[in-house]
Amino acid sequence: MIQVATVVAEALEAGRAVVALESTVLTHGLPRPRNLELGRALERVVREHGAIPATIGVLDGALVVGIDAAQMERLAAGPAAKASPWNLAALVAAGRDAGTTVATTLHAAAAAGIRAFATGGIGGVHPEPFDESADLAALARYPVVTVCAGAKSVLNVPATIERLETAGVPVLGWRSDRLAGFHVPLTDLPLAARVESAAEVARAFEAHRRLGLPGGVLVSHPVDDGLDPTDLARWLEQARADVKALGVRGKDLTPALLAALAERSRGATVDVNVRLLEANARLAADVAVALTAPHAEGTP
């Protein structure tokens, strides 16, 4: 039921660098037509940095690793559902189209043997009422390096980092000692480990695996020229009130908050989101290349 595109299967077979990309950001994270432009741009960035992109999505009920141009257009145009691990089977059984969240993308990437993945911001713990993303459990479960810009700003970020700790997910600060803040470069949350190069990320991931620890590692990549924290706090307060008035809950919550933020900031949050996604794709490609180097995959 998982279809791996020929170009991706051949690249993996040949030991070449491959980067997984998610598609919920295309179906639910960004407005049209920027979603499709971004989907194409991310694949281009990965190729320019020496790796093969594999955007993952659900088409006619098939979980596809490495969607083609027409499939990307179709997902970006919609309508498409949002596939998390808890609703994936039902969507597949019904033959639906869907974007894959970080959690579902990790599942498919791991099944295909892909070791590097780029997203924007991971899901996590929402403020009241209780709601916690399946992304956290998936990060703790699948052996993949995920490059992100921290957790999405709409979340309870301190609680999210605590949950990652409990789950045993190492968070590596890219050239920084604090967690990245998604729309803003940095939070004030300290990280246990700092990395300066893609080779260092690859070595940390290999150490994690050789120790027999389950799951992957998360790279926290701060955005350049992020939003002003005071502006973001104001827009966030407004966006939360907008979404509360709509009574949105569950899997519709994150997309609704991102859309409300985009509206309140007149597109400023979308501009930063696009830039950080491209930067993360670049870094994930460098990590994927480093993971193919002999020192990274050698015997213990």
Peptide bond preceding 33 in cis form (omega within 30 of 0): yes
As measured in angstroms, the least distance from the Cβ of 132 to Mn ion is 6
**Enclosing H/E stretch for 81:** strand 81-83
Looking only at residues 128 through 157 of this chain, which bind ligand PSU when binding is defined by CB under 6 A? Answer: 133-135
- Site membership for ligand PSU, residue 119 (CB under 6 A): yes
Q: Specify the residue for token string 């579902």.
A: 104
Residues 6+ apart with CB under 8 A from 167: 136, 137, 139, 140, 215
- Three-state DSSP at 143 gives coil
Within 13 Å and on the Cβ side, how many CA atoms surround 258? 26
Decide if 22 is catalytic.
Answer: yes
User: What are the tokens at 188?
Assistant: 């004030």
Out of Mn ion, ligand PSU, none, what residue 273 binds, judged by CB under 5 to 8 A for its kind, is: ligand PSU
Decide if 152 is catalytic.
Answer: yes
Out of Mn ion, ligand PSU, none, what residue 187 binds, judged by CB under 5 to 8 A for its kind, is: none
Class of residue 237 by CB neighbours under 10 A (exposed 0-12, middle 13-18, buried 19+): exposed
As measured in angstroms, the least distance from the Cβ of 164 to ligand PSU is 14
As measured in angstroms, the least distance from the Cβ of 164 to Mn ion is 16
- Site membership for ligand PSU, residue 22 (CB under 6 A): yes
Considering only 4, 5, 11, 29, the residue that binds ligand PSU (CB under 6 A) is 29
The end-to-end CA distance of the chain, in Å, is 34
CA–CA distance, 224 with 217 (Å, rounded to integer): 22
CA–CA distance, 70 with 91 (Å, rounded to integer): 20
Out of ligand PSU, Mn ion, none, what residue 123 binds, judged by CB under 5 to 8 A for its kind, is: ligand PSU
Considering only 220, 254, 265, 269, the residue that binds ligand PSU (CB under 6 A) is 254
Out of Mn ion, ligand PSU, none, what residue 29 binds, judged by CB under 5 to 8 A for its kind, is: ligand PSU
Stretch that binds ligand PSU, among 9-17, 22-30, 70-78, 184-192 (CB under 6 A): 22-30
Looking only at residues 96 through 115 of this chain, which bind ligand PSU when binding is defined by CB under 6 A? Answer: 101-102
Nearer to Mn ion, 115 or 251 (CB): 251
Q: Which of 270, 277, 292 is nearest to 117 (CA)?
A: 277
As measured in angstroms, the least distance from the Cβ of 249 to ligand PSU is 10
CA–CA distance, 139 with 147 (Å, rounded to integer): 11
CA angle 253, 256, 258 (to 5 degrees): 110
Considering only 39, 57, 66, 123, the residue that binds ligand PSU (CB under 6 A) is 123
The residues of the shown chain that bind Mn ion, judged by CB under 5 A, are 131
Q: How many residues are there in the chain?
A: 300
Nearer to ligand PSU, 250 or 298 (CB): 250
Looking only at residues 266 through 295 of this chain, which bind ligand PSU when binding is defined by CB under 6 A? Answer: 273
DSSP category for residue 27: I
- Hey, which residues are catalytic here? 22, 152
Q: Which positions touch ligand PSU (CB under 6 A)?
A: 22, 24-25, 28-29, 101-102, 119-121, 123, 133-135, 251, 254, 258, 273
